[in-house]
Structure 1
């Protein structure tokens, strides 16, 4: 009897360990890198045990929430979810396919903070919320400033606690056609991490070494098996000429960069790591080709995930 009791307890503890490993829920509101305005880069993220979300980029908001409600991921309607459960936006860069939904829905949104590096918030202030492109629903800029959104500039490499959410977020600059024109957000919940990258090209083409610096910063948590996933773009298939990437990655370049990360974290350190492929350009058969080339080139053994709009991920 004692033998079977020990086995039962072992299985129970193993089950608890598996449960404890999940730290984040991600609900993609949009996954594509252009063209389809109803499915552009935007991801809700919730820490385990939480009830509120942050929104990583805001290309598509309401259309994604409507599909999430239809898929029974939320109760109520899309507008109520946006107002009551989405606490803040984290914007990687101000290109339209990453901010359109946030800007468009501002009149019916609730009060929120917009976090980002200063270059990004300056463009939102000067080019979008300026009473020419759109009303100024923020707390700074052209008057009258309606004050619904509050700009929260982040310092590169400095952890920022998110009030009442048991989350900390650190911003790192990325290169996107120009050095420092995009952002990666490292999200921390207790001892678990998730890395979300905005648009970026490889260091070999972009210069500046921003990905190298990012990989150096996260390699200790990769080595410690605390990183639950990397959300990173692959916009074009390998056939896209380097001169026409415009600050984006291909499957070959992504695997090259992940190999740099493995070199820093140790041989085999990225094997089994969740790598969520974002920002696929929906031109022709690009998406299918990108998927095939990533799977064929995955000599590092990462776990590739291709997110779908309004389909939850548990990491």
Structure 2
């Protein structure tokens, strides 16, 4: 009887799904001109509300949608804050900014007067562009501790060293930044880790074959062992256009065809079948000024070419995903 009970317990453990490592609230799912729903993902360990965002194209509006859907909040009794106010000023402990395009930083800039003090984490070239273009007299007040005076000092500008792991202040997570080629601009992929588990969040990026670069291959090489060990819980990566888009009109973005080719490169480094079941969140689909939006076409193209067994997910604003 004892042996049978032990066997049943072992089988139950083996068949149980792995516990969630990360929660991710979609504050902004799209790219381009869809103001109010632009790239921003709020990431925190499961059971620990202390979060950072991967990009910040939309903050307050995304939090409002999340509050309506019940995926954030409520604020603690006595805080005097709404769920949106508490999440912005207490739960979000910092911002990971991949590059300085407005659809990735606009929410941060607009929220800055009422935000709480926290770091902005980015590669040096990205932080320099944010200070040059936005946080200066004229376009906006300088809410940071660097750059043109007067400096209000609310945000600490934290430069990340490529490939070096950095603790994310006041959270249980770390981040490692990897440079990407986004046309002529430097962008970033962020490997966010908690314990042994990681989540890989990309800013805008072109394919190596189009950009004549090896930046994506460097990222895939860096995470291949985590993929083999099933310690990479999800990838968040852009697909801006359907595959029919000509390469010379991509402007540093991916299509389903190009993403599938890149994922095959990752599988080649991590091992045959290593991507099976891996969640891949398809972000930054560009809003089209036509009667039909491209989401269905892009997801159909990804499904048709998916011989890797990955789980392609289409995020929606306000949604909470667990990995």
TM superposition score normalised by structure 2 = 0.93
Corresponding residue for residue 246 of structure 2: 241
Query: Which of 144, 149, 156 is the matching residue for 1:138?
Result: 144
User: Is there any run of 5+ residues in structure 1 with no aligned partner, and where?
Assistant: none
Give the C-alpha shift of residue 11 in structure 1: 6.2
Corresponding residue for residue 17 of structure 2: 18
Question: SS state of the match for residue 151, structure 2?
Answer: coil
Deviations 1:220-264 (A, max 9, x none): 111111110111000000111111000000000000000011111
Corresponding residue for residue 9 of structure 1: 9
Corresponding residue for residue 68 of structure 2: 70
TM superposition score normalised by structure 1 = 0.95
Give the C-alpha shift of residue 13 in structure 1: 3.8
Give the C-alpha shift of residue 7 in structure 1: 5.8
Corresponding residue for residue 151 of structure 1: 157
Question: SS state of the match for residue 105, structure 1?
Answer: helix
Aligned partners of 2:9 and 2:308: how far apart in 1? Answer: 35
User: Is there any run of 5+ residues in structure 2 with no aligned partner, and where?
Assistant: 76-81
Query: Which of 278, 283, 302 is the matching residue for 1:294?
Result: 302
Farther-moved stretch of structure 1 (243-252 vs 156-165): 156-165
**In the alignment, does 2:114 pair up with 1:108?**
yes
**In the alignment, does 2:224 pair up with 1:219?**
yes
Corresponding residue for residue 203 of structure 1: 208
Corresponding residue for residue 79 of structure 2: none
Corresponding residue for residue 258 of structure 1: 263
Aligned partners of 2:11 and 2:112: how far apart in 1? Answer: 49
- 1:91-106 equivalent positions in 2, closer than 5 A: 91-106=97-112
Query: Which of 63, 69, 81 is the matching residue for 2:87?
Result: 81
CA RMSD for the aligned pairs?
A: 1.5
Give 4+ residue runs of structure 1 displaced > 4 Å after superposition. none
Deviations 1:161-190 (A, max 9, x none): 123322110000000002x61000001110
Give the C-alpha shift of residue 49 in structure 1: 2.8
- 1:118-129 equivalent positions in 2, closer than 5 A: 118-129=124-135
Give the C-alpha shift of residue 84 in structure 1: 1.0
